[in-house]
Amino acid sequence: MRYLLLLLFFVGCSNIQAPEQSDLQLPEKSNLQVPKQSSIGEEIYKDRCVACHGENGEKLALGKSEAIGGWDKEKTEKVFEGYLNNTYGKELKALMKMQIGHMSKERLVQLAEYISTLSGKE
Ligand code: HEC
């Protein structure tokens, strides 16, 4: 009787098949792409700055600015401030002031942040 129970036990177990590995297909890595999140800074830049400063901040805007891509965040923030209170700028500073005049401080910080991530090269 004992043996029979033991036998039943084993038979029972053998029915609990572990799923074969091939059943456990994980999605391939390439399917797990998380969409690259674009920041607000990136959105504003692409919307309002790219035409003159280039996608990577590599252009000399209207031939007058430096290439701003990769500038330190703090530097860019100071420059924005300077344009806004007329203490910074060259011939076309009024034009640049117009570009950022209506923006909140928070947005300018986000823009400066994004600009710091740009390569500054074609
Ligand atoms: C119509 C073209 C134009 C657009 C659009 C524009 N800029 Fe400019 N930007 C310029 C010019 C021209 C200068 C140089 C101005 C001067 O004489 O000081 C400049 C200068 C700058 C500078 C300082 C570079 C330096 O040489 O000192 C920064 C930073 C800057 N722009 C950021 C931005 C950002 C951020 C935006 C988008 C919100 C933007 N610009 C949109 C034309 C543009």
Q: What is the pLDDT of residues 53-67, one digit of tens each?
A: 999 999 999 999 999
Lowest mean pLDDT among 20-29, 83-92, 108-117: 20-29
Q: Is the pTM of this model over 0.85?
A: no
Give the pLDDT confidence score for residue 36 in this predicted structure.
Answer: 65
Q: Which helix (H) or strand (E) holds 42?
A: helix 40-48
Span 36-42, average pLDDT = 85
Domain 38-120 has CATH 3.40.50.1010: no
Lowest mean pLDDT among 22-26, 43-47, 79-83, 94-98: 22-26
For the Cβ of 53 lying below 6 angstroms from any atom of ligand 1, the answer is yes
Ligand 1 atom closest to residue 45's alpha carbon, by position in its atom list: 37
For the Cβ of 76 lying below 6 angstroms from any atom of ligand 1, the answer is yes
For the Cβ of 95 lying below 6 angstroms from any atom of ligand 1, the answer is yes
Closest by CA to 42, choosing from 32, 52, 50, is 50
